[in-house]
């Protein structure tokens, strides 16, 4: 079923179409919410609120973006609102932590490059690591933890691009950032996650 006919089915109140949509999008929406709120239960609440908003707003969806991009924007708005409410209970130290994270130094150790800018020490290759370890639960937990430790602006970009798998144009529209800004944030996020994995898999 194409997206247009699927939306028509949703607007008619087709329960099967709604169940199919939830099965496909609920997981990515939850992971997106988790980029903004650390508590899984709060993220679930955010996603439920997003679904309710989406269903109530279906008649206003004009199709200028994909449905996935549109509902991702709804998740982001609800998650940001929830995070603002939750932040009232954060300690002063916790609030400072995010600001300090944005002022971190280079994402890759400069000593790994020569004067010509070429790699002096190539990134670790994982070809000889058993596949079951690479895709094991502990490795996935390490990836989730590394993403959660990123500064918020970097975390939301890597989640939208690499977890929700939205394209660069959609992410730029959702976050209101330039293509160059997005590239920088995504590079820093990916480099930080890779560094964490290198340490874990070493």
pTM: 0.65
Tens of pLDDT along 132-146? Answer: 555 567 777 888 888
DSSP symbols for the chain: --HHHHHHHHHTT-HHHHHHHHHHHHHHHHHHHHTT-S-HHHHHHHHHHHHHHHHHTGGG---SS-HHHHHHHHHHHHHHHHHHHHHTTS-HHHHHHHHHHHT---SS-GGGB-TTSSBSSPPPP-TTS-HHHHTSHHHHHHHHHHHHTS-HHHHHHHIIIIIS---HHHHHHHHT--HHHHHHHHHHHHHHHHHHHHHHH-
- 90 pLDDT exceeds 80? no
Does 3-87 carry CATH code 3.40.50.740? no
Q: How confident is the model at residue 49 (pLDDT cuts 50, 70, 90)?
A: very high
- 148 pLDDT exceeds 80? yes
Rounded to an integer, what distance in angstroms lies between the CA atom of residue 187 and that of residue 59? 37
Give me the CATH code for the 93-201 domain, please. Answer: 1.10.10.10
- 101 pLDDT exceeds 50? no
Q: Can you tell me the mean pLDDT for 1-17?
A: 74
The domain limits of the chain are 3-87, 93-201
Q: Can you tell me the mean pLDDT for 30-59?
A: 89
Is the CB of residue 108 less than 8 Å from the CB of residue 191? yes
Q: How confident is the model at residue 46 (pLDDT cuts 50, 70, 90)?
A: very high
Q: Can you tell me the mean pLDDT for 7-25?
A: 83
Least confident of 47-51, 95-99, 139-143, 149-153: 95-99
Task: Count CB-CB contacts under 10 A for residue 115.
Answer: 6
pLDDT at 119: 54
Is the CB of residue 84 less than 8 Å from the CB of residue 52? no
Rounded to an integer, what distance in angstroms lies between the CA atom of residue 36 and that of residue 42? 10
């Amino acid at each position: 079923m194409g997206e247009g006919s699927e939306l028509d089915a949703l607007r008619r109140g087709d329960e099967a179409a709604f169940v199919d949509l939830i099965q496909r999008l609920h997981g990515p929406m939850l992971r997106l919410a988790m980029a903004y709120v650390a508590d899984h239960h709060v993220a679930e609440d955010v996603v439920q609120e997003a679904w309710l908003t989406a269903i109530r707003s279906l008649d206003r969806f004009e199709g200028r973006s994909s449905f996935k991009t549109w509902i991702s924007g709804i998740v982001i708005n609800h998650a940001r609102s929830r995070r603002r409410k939750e932040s009232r209970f954060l300690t002063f130290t916790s609030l400072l932590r995010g600001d300090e994270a944005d002022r971190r130094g280079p994402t890759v150790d400069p000593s790994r490059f020569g004067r010509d800018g070429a790699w002096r020490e190539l990134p670790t290759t994982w070809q000889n690591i058993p596949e079951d370890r690479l895709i094991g639960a502990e490795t996935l937990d390490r990836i989730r933890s590394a993403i959660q430790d990123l500064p918020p602006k970097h975390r939301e970009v890597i989640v939208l691009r690499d977890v929700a798998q939205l394209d660069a144009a959609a992410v730029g529209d959702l976050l209101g950032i330039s293509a160059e800004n997005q590239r920088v944030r995504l590079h820093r996020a990916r480099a930080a996650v890779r560094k964490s994995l290198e340490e874990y898999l070493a």
